[in-house]
Chains A and B, each alone.
Chain A
Amino acid sequence: MKQTKKARLSAGQIALIVIGVLFFAVMLVWPLVEVLYRALKGGWALYWSAVTAKTTLSALRVTLLAAVIALLVDTFFALAASWLLTKFEFRGKSVLTTLIDIPFSISPVIAGLAFIMMFGRSGLATPVVNWFNDTFGTDIALVFSIPGVVLATIFVTFPYVLRELLPAMNLQGCAEEEAAALLGAGGFTIFRRVTLPHIKWPLIYGMVLCAARAFGEFGAVYAVSKARGETFTLPLEVDALYMSGGAEAITQAFAVSSLLVLLALVMLILKNIAEWRAKKSY
């Protein structure tokens, strides 16, 4: 005879669940709802004008530009570095692995300030930039300009893709690559036909994380970006509106924030799809 026992939760279990739900609600859901509520408080007309304001659109453009460039650079770097770190043995490998994690441990503001020091008027790297401009007839400025914003974003998001790729590449080992090499395949063919199918979903997952981080970056970009409507990103624009103090400006700040929330939600959905597919492919 089989007795089905109803799963009854103990008091401790209930308490833990309540704490979990409360934490989730207070820390994550409430603030998001607050943002949307504040954004729409002044009515749709105000919301729409705030979202389509010239400064907002400029900030959206800069944010997307910086994120896309950072994403491309980081992805390329991550593929190269993870290939190097997992398929080869060499001296100083662990040192390199640690160095790559620097952006995780250094405050972004400090990174931004370091860029100002490097590329500012009396910076040590400035002569190099000047030489480049003189030689190629360009007019690139690295601080207080779009390239500076892009550089800062790249710095902060540097390890994200790599961190997702490394475990996947480690798991796979080298035997299949060696087998392909022995059959006469070149490096690129091996990567495309053998390695890439293994790491496709972890790679996409890492890219989504990287993009999400790039959209939200504040500290490092704040240090190198001073021109509202030109080099401001969305988080800086929100900050500027909020800090100006007027009641209407604050509502506008939340309206612009809602754009970031929207971007975050899109990334969250993409991230979950990638996660689900990555799990399925193992």
Chain B
Amino acid sequence: MFIETRQLCKRFDDYEAAKDITFGVEQGKMAALLGPSGSGKTTILRMIAGLEQQDSGDILINGKNVNDVPAGERGIGFVFQNYALFRYMNVYDNIAFGLKVQKKSKAEIRARVTELIQLIGLVGLEKRYPNQLSGGQRQRVAFARAIAPGPSLLLLDEPFAAIDAKVRKELRVWLRDMIVQVGITSIFVTHDQEEALEVADDIIILNEGHIEQMGTPTEIYLHPQTPFVAQFAGNSSVVEGLPGFRGFEKLPKGQKILIRPEFVDAFKTDNLQMQPYADRAEDGVVTGISFRGSSLEVRLKVHGITLLTNRSLERREIRLGEHMNVFLHRVYCIEGERTQVVENELLKDISME
């Protein structure tokens, strides 16, 4: 592990911001601290940076305990939520600041800043001030300023929060590419699960100051261990029991169940591909259709339960009130603080055919 935290705890008066936080990120990887607001993610990031002092616990960077190392000497680059660019300095001076502090020679500074400005694609804007830049450009400058002194770890606090939706996706890919190109270990904080799933190598899910689950995006998505994670990652609905659903008879009555739209299939009887499922499917009525851009979100009522599914725009048009076959592949059972995947038992029969 390149960066590690061990049993980090932090309290603000009567509010526990971090409880027993232990995790690590390997060299060159990008990790996401994912959680809703107030889950302690920013506090943890600030403790790693040295901007906040933990009450107890250790922080190790490259095997060295940095508890007593001041923020400026930890070798960390930090991108702030609102970038915190120096308002009274132009782009060039912003990026050069860390190098000037290190008393680098003029020629060296010039070479490094020029290189970074080329890297972030802002050639020609060196003399602009932060308030003359767009949100995306500001973020690029903040990134260049943070990595200019050659830190070994890059921390980003909600790096995309201040940017409008359209540019955000573009910038996400850009930042991901940049970090891979520079090869720097990084941790970013976000409340946007889609962002974390798309960008991070590892995700650490936080809830009320403690870690709910960590793992790769696939692990988190497919095997959520707690109800919180199951509901946080992915767009899902929670129901009580699945009365009348074939293949789920063993579920106890009133069992809390979480259903993901991608595990719900809805199709017409004449769909040849779905033929093996048709006999084992339930009858559902379309109660709602919403346009989601790349797909349709369809709401179906099956045995009195409303299920969500996504439907490709390429498929046949469907109408409200239409009857469809609905097949449920798997669900998540919520048992106290754990979740468990339950497969449809009829899937075995289908695979045997």
Contact = CB atoms under 8 A, between A and B. Distances in A.
Interface in A73-124: none
B159 interface: no
A194 B101 contact: no
Interface stretch (B81-89, B170-178, B293-301): B81-89
Contacts of A183: 72, 97-98, 101, 145, 148-149
Interface in B26-57: 49-51
A248 interface: no
Interface string A174-192: 0110111111111001000
Contact of A194 (B72, B76, B86): B86
Most chain B C-beta atoms within 10 Å of own C-beta, residue among A178, A180, A183, A193:
A183
Interface string B53-92: 0000000000000000001110011101010111111000
A75 B243 CA distance: 76
Given A181-B71, A182-B71, A198 B87 contact: yes
A182 B82 contact: no
The prevalent SS among residues of A at the interface is helix
Most chain A C-beta atoms within 10 Å of own C-beta, residue among B72, B76, B85:
B72
A180 to B, nearest CB: 7
A245 interface: no
B88 A197 contact: yes
A180 B80 CA distance: 12
B101 A185 contact: yes
Given A185-B72, A185-B101, A189-B101, A180 B49 contact: no
Contact of A185 (B76, B88, B97): B97
B82 A175 contact: yes
Interface residues of A, number: 16
B290 interface: no
B76 A182 contact: yes
B13 to A, nearest CB: 11
Contact of A182 (B78, B86, B88): B78
Given A179-B78, A179-B80, A184 B102 contact: yes
Nearest to A175: B84
Contacts of B85: 176, 179
A176 B72 contact: no
B71 A179 contact: no
Nearest to A183: B98
B72 A181 contact: yes
Contacts of A193: 86, 89, 97
B97 A178 contact: no
Given A178-B51, A179-B78, A184 B101 contact: yes
> Nearest 6 pairs between A and B by C-beta?
A175-B84, A183-B98, A197-B88, A184-B72, A179-B84, A184-B101
Interface of B: 49-51, 71-73, 76-78, 80, 82, 84-89, 97-98, 101-102, 145, 148-149
14 contacts: A176-B87, A178-B78, A179-B80, A179-B86, A179-B145, A180-B86, A181-B51, A182-B50, A182-B72, A183-B98, A184-B98, A184-B101, A185-B72, A193-B97
